[in-house]
Structure 1
Amino acid sequence: MSPRHLALAIGLAAVWGFNFVVMEVGLRHFQPLQYAGFRFALAAFPALLFVGRPPVPWRWVVGVAATLGAGQFGLLLIAMRAGMPAGLTSLVLQVQALFTALFAVTLLGERLGARRVTGLAVAFAGLALVAYDFGLSGPVGAFALCVAAAAAWGLGNVLQRKAAPPDSLRFMVWVSALSAPPLLAMSLLVEGPPSLVAPVEGWLSLGYVAFVSTLGGFGVWGWLLRRYDASTVAPYTLLVPVFGISSAALVTGEPISWVSLVAGALIVSGVLWAGTRGRAQRTEAAALAADGSASATRVSASSSWDADRNHAS
């Protein structure tokens, strides 16, 4: 990745890391499925009235809504309500990087390469160290739900890369619009009629997760996935627990041990190693750009997109 895109990916990890603390606050005032449904409803409306039709065929919008939307966040919030603390949740959810790589290899035919495998191994060693430091004290069922949410996220990453929406923000608005109805319907069946009575901090929490984390965050996420392999982008989410643990310490006063600091260093170094290209690869890419091959690639991709769009119409 270029330095600018690298900074964008790390900034996104910071936004999503703080998100767990924000969600924990929101779950004090809303039921899990209700909270998730409200989150996507706010992200979709009224933006839905101004963005026009989805920029990709409907099958991709439905698929990402079912996995990234209803699947990931429905399972995640139920897990947190069932006893998974914010810090540990931010850690366990990053198993999605492994699921993303596996789905990318099996469904997209991507190759990981020795550099990415090594970086992922180092980063996961850091995650294992954080898990050891925290201890898996949450209920087994809640832990399993969190892992299932990670799998749904991994599949959603691959579907979003396959969709390659040219307008990530408009795509995410429609994903949110299709995620909200099933979540609110399940909330009505399982949790009862929704309540709109909540203190200001509850609504501020919803505002953050709807507009900053969902629309802004997944808009940036889709933009990165459109430019890089899913197995290149996904490892940067391993930085999320670093920011999640740090924000929990700053906001709630949770202590940070030296073990967590060492683990964070492993995660950062592993992610950087897996997500950046070697010198030879950068030189080759520069040569391709110089002789116009990059432009030819973009024209070919545009033609493929037009064909797919016409077929969908």
Structure 2
Amino acid sequence: MTTRDRLLGLIVVVVWGLNFLAIRAGLDQFPPFFFAALRFAVIAVPVVLFVRRPTVPLRWLLLYGTGFGLLQFAFLFAAMNAGMPTGLASLVLQSSAPFTVVLGALLLREKVGPRQWIGIGIAVGGMILIGWDRAHNATLLPVLLTLLAGLSWAFGNLGNRLATRASRPASGLPVEPMRLMLWMCVVPPLPMFALSAVVEGPTTGWTAIGDGVSAGQFSGLIGLAYIVVIGTIAGSGLWTVLISRYPAGVVAPFSLLVPVVGIGASWLVLDETPSVLSLVGAAVVIGGCMWGLSRSPRSATTSTEPRIVTPPSGATVG
């Protein structure tokens, strides 16, 4: 990887790490399900009007959008609204990596080597440390909700893989992954708006927008703009460029730095100070994922598997 592309990877890491601050700004002003629906709707409308739908089976696009978009952010935003620290959320959401490997082995019969299983075990051990620490502080529910968000993201990854395989040309590479990711954003808005209407009230979110504008409070809308323009379009665009130039095993480890930025930014901006045990758990999780779930340079170079763009949380998301 060239020095310029390493710098691009680090820019993506910073953009996606700061995405969690934007999420917190939005949740401080809007109900969680409404905010999730709004962030997807802002992207979905121009996508439907101006972006041609990818040539993938509808069922896999729906699985991708339901897991990665609808369920992941319903659980994540609910967790953060219930008290999940912003920086810790960026870390626990990385549970999607081991979840994806396990689900791929169970449902898609993908091969998982001993090193990957060991890495998963180490990462799970780190999650247990974090869960035990939060339970000791009577805040286990937000951690469990964030883990469900990670599991939902993993199901979305399976939909992404199945869609990519179904549309794969003779070259073995996926068809326009950025377009697939954009159309994934079309799936969540209507179900999420319906969920918001039932749980939060049909007018609560819209009233929050009106009250914020009339009071001159634009932090939530600024957070929304950051998520859509910087996090999704710029961040995911750069990630797509990198994943198209290099094997996935070379690019993917950058995503493990996102929680480092998320935790650091939350500490500096929001004065969130994680406990020592949570920091130890975070190091164990990142270390286990980086060691066990990344391909060796040789295998990454020789692999014939299609490259799949599955940006970390905070990418399209946020």
With normalisation by structure 1, the TM-score equals 0.75
Where does residue 35 of structure 2 map in the other structure?
35
Where does residue 67 of structure 2 map in the other structure?
67
Between 153-162 and 245-254, report the one with greater CA deviation: 245-254
CA distance in 2, matches of 1:68, 1:279: 28
Task: Please give the per-residue CA displacement for 1:117-136, whole angstroms capped at 9, x wherever unaligned.
Answer: 34444445555555566666
What count of residue pairs does the alignment treat as equivalent? 288
- In the TM superposition, residue 254 of structure 1 has moved relative to its aligned partner by 3.0
Q: Does 1:168 align with 2:177?
A: yes
Residue type of the alignment partner of 1:200: F
Where does residue 144 of structure 1 map in the other structure?
144
- In the TM superposition, residue 115 of structure 1 has moved relative to its aligned partner by 2.8
Where does residue 22 of structure 1 map in the other structure?
22
CA pair 234-281 structure 1, distance change in 2 beyond 3 A:
closer
**Tell me, what secondary structure is at the counterpart of 1:46?**
helix
Task: Please give the per-residue CA displacement for 1:204-261, whole angstroms capped at 9, x wherever unaligned.
Answer: 10112223334455566678499867x9987765443322211111212334666666
CA pair 143-253 structure 1, distance change in 2 beyond 3 A:
closer
Between 69-78 and 41-50, report the one with greater CA deviation: 41-50
CA pair 228-138 structure 1, distance change in 2 beyond 3 A:
farther
Is the 2:9–2:254 contact (alpha carbons within 8 Å) kept by the matching residues of 1?
yes
CA distance in 2, matches of 1:159, 1:226: 23
Max radius of gyration: which structure? 1
Where does residue 198 of structure 2 map in the other structure?
189
With normalisation by structure 2, the TM-score equals 0.74
CA distance in 1, matches of 2:244, 2:75: 23
CA pair 117-281 structure 1, distance change in 2 beyond 3 A:
same
Task: Please give the per-residue CA displacement for 1:36-67, whole angstroms capped at 9, x wherever unaligned.
Answer: 01100112232432211234222222111111
Is the 1:40–1:180 contact (alpha carbons within 8 Å) kept by the matching residues of 2?
yes
Is the 1:14–1:240 contact (alpha carbons within 8 Å) kept by the matching residues of 2?
yes
Where does residue 227 of structure 2 map in the other structure?
209
Structure 1 vs Structure 2 CA RMSD: 3.7
Between 40-49 and 2-11, report the one with greater CA deviation: 2-11
CA distance in 1, matches of 2:236, 2:72: 13
CA pair 222-147 structure 1, distance change in 2 beyond 3 A:
farther
Is the 1:99–1:154 contact (alpha carbons within 8 Å) kept by the matching residues of 2?
yes
Between 231-240 and 175-184, report the one with greater CA deviation: 231-240
CA pair 267-102 structure 1, distance change in 2 beyond 3 A:
closer
Is the 2:87–2:265 contact (alpha carbons within 8 Å) kept by the matching residues of 1?
no
CA distance in 2, matches of 1:20, 1:222: 20
CA pair 281-37 structure 1, distance change in 2 beyond 3 A:
closer
CA distance in 2, matches of 1:64, 1:191: 25
**Tell me, what secondary structure is at the counterpart of 1:63?**
helix
Where does residue 268 of structure 2 map in the other structure?
250
CA distance in 2, matches of 1:2, 1:123: 30
Where does residue 167 of structure 2 map in the other structure?
none
**Tell me, what secondary structure is at the counterpart of 2:111?**
coil
Where does residue 79 of structure 2 map in the other structure?
79
CA distance in 1, matches of 2:59, 2:237: 19
Is the 1:80–1:142 contact (alpha carbons within 8 Å) kept by the matching residues of 2?
yes
CA distance in 1, matches of 2:146, 2:104: 21
**Tell me, what secondary structure is at the counterpart of 1:177?**
coil
CA pair 23-105 structure 1, distance change in 2 beyond 3 A:
same
